[in-house]
Amino acid sequence: MSEPTVPHVPAMATAHRQALRRHLMNEITRPARRPKRTPVLAGAVGVLAAVIAAGTIALPGVPQSAPLVVTVQQAEPAAATTLLNAMAAAVVEKPEPGDGRYVYIRSLGAYAELGGGPARLRPVREREIWIPRYEPGDGLLRQPFFELPVIGVIPERVTLTDMTPNAAVVDLPDDPDELLAKLYRERAERGHGSSRDGAAFTAIGDILRESLVPPQTSAALYRAAARIPGVEVIRQVTDAAGRRGTAVAYTERDRRDEWIFDERTFEYLGSRSYLVADTADGPAGTVLATTAVLQRAVVPKLGQRP
């Protein structure tokens, strides 16, 4: 499948172009993780990640695209509670993470260009992020540098200043009912956007994707997800790295969001989002995003790999 071209963008004044670029770079370096963050913040970070990922330089050795259209499979609503509770029981048996000052996560991701016709999935990109583990401080983001229309060249390496530490993000109730109630309160305080169930599902997914979660907290997240009405199971789902797994899914506004897990170990593999009905963004099955977590670890120094 050939890579879609970037839509033409009319020229604009240099000062305006520079202002836009400064704004994007400020958004990149603004703390992406805060205590008591709300689903709307998590969603904003996800949108920014999608913009960052939509580069124009291919990464050698990584597939140039994920399938643009997938089969919309039949969901299994009755299986969700059983699967999530089994995952919760399994994860508490896993060891606690080791010592280290930074959380390191290496992942793949591809996101769709929207507007002007059917959504077009951009090439898969590799991404590395270092997050301070216990105390606020600098983090680091690495990914292939690229050029965006209007904005210009975005650097390969960006320091994320004064990041909220991983420990604050995963400082959540171990009781699943309390955890879900907290997410619902955050949605009520925001007062707009997705439904409260959709917002809770998104918030849990954001934590699972780019945090290092202790076993007890992971179990609480899974059990809380099992209590969200409308959560379903999808079999034989593929992540951005081509690995097959079982997905926990939620559908809202013609879009299905999936968390993908290894069928045997219940290890989190990645995520996928796609349309379940024909819309202006494409036919049912059009992929909007696909990710894969390749490595998750703790390291002693910023920028050091495991």
Q: Write phi, then psi, for 185 (nearest 5 degrees).
A: -65, -40
Is position 8 within any domain?
no
In a domain, 197, yes or no: yes
- Phi (first) and psi of residue 285, to 5 degrees: 100, -5
Using a cut of 0.75, tell me whether the model's pTM lies above it: yes
Give the N- to C-terminal CA distance of the chain in Å, as an integer: 34
Place of tokens 């499979």: 73
Residue 31 placed within a domain: yes
What is the pLDDT, as a whole number, of residue 53? 41
What totals of helices (H) and strands (E) does the chain contain, helices first?
7, 12
What's the chain's average pLDDT? 81
Backbone φ and ψ for 234, nearest 5 degrees, come out as -125, 130
State percent of the chain over pLDDT 70.
74
Mean of the pLDDT values across residues 92-115? 92
| Calpha distance 120→288 (Å, rounded) | 8
Inform me whether the pLDDT recorded for 16 exceeds 60.
Answer: no
How crowded is residue 261: how many other Cβ atoms within 10 Å of its Cβ? 23
At 110, which amino acid appears? A
For β-strands 244-252 and 255-261, DSSP reports them as antiparallel
Domain that holds residue 270: 14-299
DSSP code for 63:
-
Query: Does residue 99 have a pLDDT over 80?
Result: yes
> Does residue 57 fall inside a structural domain?
yes
In a domain? residue 5: no
* Number of structural domains the chain divides into: 1
Considering the domain boundaries, does residue 4 fall inside one? no
Q: What is the pLDDT of residues 171-201, one digit of tens each?
A: 999 999 999 999 999 888 887 778 999 999 9
Model confidence band, residue 294 (pLDDT cutoffs 50, 70, 90):
very high
Any domain includes 107: yes
Q: Does some domain include residue 9?
A: no
Q: Which two tokens stand for residue 55?
A: 């580069």
